[in-house]
Homo-oligomer: A and B are copies of this chain.
Amino acid sequence: MPGYSEKLKKIFEKNKIDIGSKIRITTSSRTYEGILMPRTEGKDDIIVIKLKNGYNFGIKYDESIKIEKIEDALKKQEKKLQLKFDKNKPTVYILHTGGTIASKVDYRTGGVEASFGPEDLIEMFPEINDYANIKSKLIRRMFSEDMRFEHHQIMAREIAKVSKECDGIIITHGTDTLHYTSASLAFMLGNIGIPVILVGSQRSSDRPSTDAAMNLICAVKFIVKTNFAGVGVCMHATSNDDYCYINHPCKVRKMHTSRRDAFQPINADPIAKVWFKEDKIEFIRKDYDKKDKNRKIDLKDGYEDKVALVKFYPGFDEKILEFYEKQNYKGIVLEGYGLGQIPINEIDEFTKHNKNNFNILKRMAEKGCIIAATSQTIFGRVNLNVYSTGRDMQSIGIIGCEDMHPETAFVKLKWLLGNFKPEQVKELLVKNLRGEITE
């Protein structure tokens, strides 16, 4: 009964309720039915059940609530699938970091903490075994919103390690920060000679509308059937189950809270389309790296902690920039407006604060902080030459980030400052290293 209060544990025990049991909860106003879930975080007096529609739902316990068992939890399947290695098939390594993609595993048996073995994966998604021998490893089991660059580093090192034992790697990942991770891995894994495809799922595997299977299967097909090398993101291209996009790791962004085609290309075409039910893969771009298993990865997995992405909005308080100055930040990515400008002009008594933004950034730049300009429009290219504001920004050394969207510019600056000298950083920031800048 992990995570539940002593009181609730006693009630569950009395009613012979286990994790995975189907239960009915009756409050004064409503009745809920669902599978009892383990409680891994948060308050221990909230009962979490998985509803029929696949969503988890939490109900705060109080004395007036009635809890009944409707069905026992299923017995754990003891006999595991026997996997055979087929030397005629390529080998794909699946590294799991968390997220909804593999969340089907054994709710009814209470086995959410089950090991992430290749057998479990093939039981969930049998088709992947048709294309490849599957190896797998559980790296973390976390929501992607909790991921930090420390975790990108762990992934990059693990990829470098297992890359010798396989023909391609899949990273299963929560979708929320998947595009930050894909950019980060693209920078960390220089010269990689095999494909590394990030796969997430917007609807968990136990919901009828899940996109988990199609995204994973398309990723395996893409790895096995093409000569692509490098990092990519494989997710639904449309809201139908027709084909996935392989998007560029630095030119993609989660653009919807819930749609299955949330990952859309930004300022660049997707690399390829991979059909789900047909044996069809179409490359939209030709400028990708080709597979070469003999290439040695140039692993540069450093990153600088003191880099911030600072979004502007009307009434932005200059004290926010002062905070970063006092904290000795080494890099600032401004998420400005339009062509990249931020409020720095003094027009009237109200805009003297805007002028202070300029003064503070000037001081920071003089102390060596790298300041980069991007646009909150997300789409389009920054241009600091058009308006006087942009030219004034350039006069203190602020660098326009071309057509990198804010998140990619942020990841790049963090990575550059962790691996190169300050003089090099300025030059490399506006140089296309991984396809992050479209010429």
Contact = CB atoms under 8 A, between A and B. Distances in A.
Contacts of A258: 339, 380-381, 383
B338 A257 contact: yes
Contacts of A385: 55, 57-58
Contact of A338 (B184, B254, B392): B254
A336 B311 CA distance: 13
A203 to B, nearest CB: 10
A394 to B, nearest CB: 9
Interface stretch (A110-118, A119-127, A138-146, A160-168): A138-146
Contact of A255 (B150, B347, B378, B386): B378
Contacts of A313: 180, 309, 407, 410
A389 B148 contact: no
Given A315-B148, A341-B176, A46 B391 contact: yes
Contact of A323 (B320, B344, B351, B395): B320
A150 B343 CA distance: 14
Contacts of A57: 385
A275 interface: no
Nearest to A322: B323
Contact of A380 (B142, B256, B342): B256
Interface stretch (A36-44, A72-80, A284-292): A36-44
Number of copies of this protein chain within its complex = 2
A311 B239 CA distance: 27
Interface in A380-410: 380-383, 385-389, 391-392, 395, 407, 410
A10 interface: no
B392 A143 contact: no
Contacts of A181: 314
Given A255-B377, A313-B180, A380-B256, A146 B340 contact: no
Nearest to A98: B347
A84 B42 CA distance: 71
Interface string A298-317: 00000101011101111101
Contact of A388 (B42, B327, B336, B342): B42
Contacts of A378: 255, 378
Given A341-B176, A348-B140, A354-B146, A315 B305 contact: yes
A258 B380 CA distance: 6
Contacts of A395: 42-43
Contact of A345 (B146, B312, B343): B146
9 contacts: A140-B348, A143-B389, A144-B337, A180-B314, A255-B379, A257-B379, A257-B380, A303-B315, A313-B410
Closest 4 CB pairs of A and B: A257-B380, A176-B337, A176-B338, A150-B350
